[in-house]
Chain A
Amino acid sequence: MKLKFNNISKKYKTKTALDNFDFTLSVGVHALLGPNGSGKSTLMNILAGILKPTEGNITLNNEDTIELGDSFRDILGYLPQYPGFYPSFTGYNLMKYFAALKGIDNPKGKINELLEFVNLSSDSNRKYGEYSGGMKRRLGIAISLLNDPKILILDEPTAGLDPKERMRFRNILGQIGRNKIIIVATHIVSDVETIADNIILLKEGKIILSGSIPYVENHIKGKVWNKKTEMSEAEQYILQNSNANIIKQGDSVYLRIIGDEPPFEDALLVDPTLEDVYMYCNDKGADVGDEN
């Protein structure tokens, strides 16, 4: 299964939200990383058929997804950034409603199975308006899985959730079958670093780096530095430089700095993480790199 984005651009009056996005996705978990306004949601909306691209098209196994129409929607699961449902509907009724929308006959078994999967069985008769943010997201993913989609789009699935709910959400994502194309758009690196097979870094509507996690980490090898320091000195450095993090380990304080040159004489080179890549690319804007 190949999902191909062919030079997708989306232009508004004065802004280009996506600029010639050209990429091919195959089965696996793909993390679309980028800051707010980088074009992630626009891309997700175009893929979901909600927005029309200004230029370009998307093909699934060489067939245009717009022309595929309902048959494409039948294999699509989509959880938008802020899914809003009807507060007076119960969780179960919402599942039934979306089962009807997705044209699923006799959905009872599937609904119960998915509610169990997202740990909402005991709350299924509560009204959606009474659900917590985490419960709403879990219900959202259950709804998006109702039709057993081959392509699953999750737009900022953990935005606004507390750490416990984020962890729970990551576990759910990890359990979803691997025979799908799963696209997770997020700006929270920790959400995807343990589950993504492929990373796509977006900035200002353009791909700036893509590939497997080892590949993208390798892209900035030799550019991540660690320095043991005092808290006051670390805070002073952070104020003047945006390319650094303070890390506390016990009583020790470290500055983790991303840069082409060693920031201090006694700074030590360390292995980059995905978060370092994200920071480096967003701070400096990396040359386009594509593992494929």
Chain B
Amino acid sequence: MKILLYEVRKLFLSKRSFIIICAFILQIAIMFIPHKYDIEYSDEVYKKYTEQIKGEYTEQKRDFILDRYDEISEIINSYDGIVSAYKRDEISLEEFDNYNFTYHIALAEESTVEHLIEKCNYFDELGRGVFFYDTSWTDFFSTSGYNYIVALTIILLTVPAFTNEYHSNAIAMLLTTRNGRRKVCISKIIIVAIATFAIAFTIYMLKFATFMYIRGDNANLGVENLIGYNYLPNISLKQYYLIDTVIKSASWVVASLFICAISVLAKNTVFSLFISFIFVVFPYYIAHLFNGGWFKYVFTANQLGEMYAHDLKLTLLIILYITKSTAYSIFCVRGWEHKD
């Protein structure tokens, strides 16, 4: 236990605590940077309609949307006729201006109302649904994939946990003591794993808390209300994010143990940082080339790059994580005990 506490102290030496604090602040600050939603409809119009129809999905609300869509279609389709009528002086300038006004509104609302119809169809398929302004949530989830702040913090924290002992040559004295071999190494692995989980979890939750503070409402509503999330019944938006955060934090633990193994093998900080980056960040991009599939189980980084999805086989993932963690830890202990 004493050795475990000393390893905590070594891991959180003043400079490294500073890195963690900076990461926390950076994550909060980034959330305040104005962000343009990557959506195909007008968010302003969508917000207006969802305010109007918020609450349980009903037939009336569906009819209201369909009626509005018919109205919009009619306005848009009558454009050529109205222009001709105006040219033939069949309608006054004032009437033409009024039409023009409604025509542009209809054009602006068309894609949004189409999206609402898509949502109605989704709710029909689901058998239930709740209307609410959810753009901020879909956007939040779409930008909650790979977190570079967590990646950098974990890499910068984990690599020196082992390589500093080689750089300072403390390893020489550690290895000549009864508990400086296996116990120190296992303590390091345990502390790195716990710290990684805690730091990753905290950063993800800080992101969530800042999101909730700025633009997050309706966190208790079901995630199934978002198009494409119908595989998670009876799970609220905040529960979904929490589940995803736990999976990602566990994935970071596996990644950090891999970094530990690399550090023990390389015994050099710069080289370990480089290799860690290559193997923890780069595969995320490779995974895109293979369009997910089996490849996402090969490199842990891929679980870090996407939100929890229905096709993720959790049992397989848990078995893989346990196997990988054990293999990395054994490699670490064996490498630690031999300096050459």
- Give chain A's interface residues, CB within 8 Å of chain B: 45, 48-52, 70, 73-74, 76-86, 88-89, 97-98, 100-103, 140, 143-144
Contact = CB atoms under 8 A, between A and B. Distances in A.
Of B169, B171, B184, most buried by chain A (CB within 10 Å of CB) is B169
A84 B174 contact: no
B176 interface: yes
A100 B172 contact: no
B169 A49 contact: no
B168 interface: yes
Interface stretch (B2-10, B80-88, B221-229, B276-284): B2-10
Q: How many residues of B sit at the interface, in one of the four size bands?
A: 20 to 34
Given A88-B13, A100-B3, A101-B3, A50 B169 contact: no
Nearest to B172: A80
Given A45-B339, A51-B340, A86-B10, A102 B177 contact: yes
B168 A50 contact: no
B170 A100 contact: no
Contacts of A50: 171-172, 175-176, 339
A82 B170 CA distance: 9
B202 to A, nearest CB: 23
Contacts of B180: 101
A100 B179 contact: yes
B169 A73 contact: no
Classify the interface of chain A: helix, strand, loop or mixed.
Answer: loop
B14 interface: yes
Interface string B166-210: 011111111111111000100000000000000000000000000
Given A45-B339, A88-B13, A103 B179 contact: yes
Interface string B301-340: 0000000000000000000000000000000000000111
Nearest to B5: A100
B307 to A, nearest CB: 39
A102 B172 contact: no
A102 B178 contact: yes
A89 B14 CA distance: 11
B168 A48 contact: no
B178 to A, nearest CB: 5
Contact of A78 (B2, B14, B172, B339): B172
A101 B2 CA distance: 9
A260 B65 CA distance: 111
Contacts of A76: 176
Interface string B204-219: 0000000000000000
A74 B176 CA distance: 9
Contacts of B169: 80-84
B330 to A, nearest CB: 19
Contacts of A45: 172, 339
A100 B167 CA distance: 22
Contacts of B175: 48-50
B211 to A, nearest CB: 36
B337 to A, nearest CB: 9
Contacts of A84: 167-170
A73 B177 contact: yes
Contacts of B10: 86
Given A52-B338, A52-B340, A88-B13, A83 B170 contact: yes
Q: Of residues A83, A140, A144, which shows the largest number of chain B Cβ atoms within 10 Å of its Cβ?
A: A83
A50 B336 CA distance: 10
Nearest to A77: B176
A101 B179 contact: yes
A102 B339 CA distance: 19
A51 B179 CA distance: 18
Given A74-B178, A98-B177, A102-B179, 9 more contacts: A50-B171, A51-B339, A78-B172, A83-B173, A84-B167, A85-B168, A97-B6, A101-B180, A103-B179
Contacts of B176: 48-50, 73, 76-78
Interface in B9-57: 9-10, 13-14
A86 B168 contact: yes
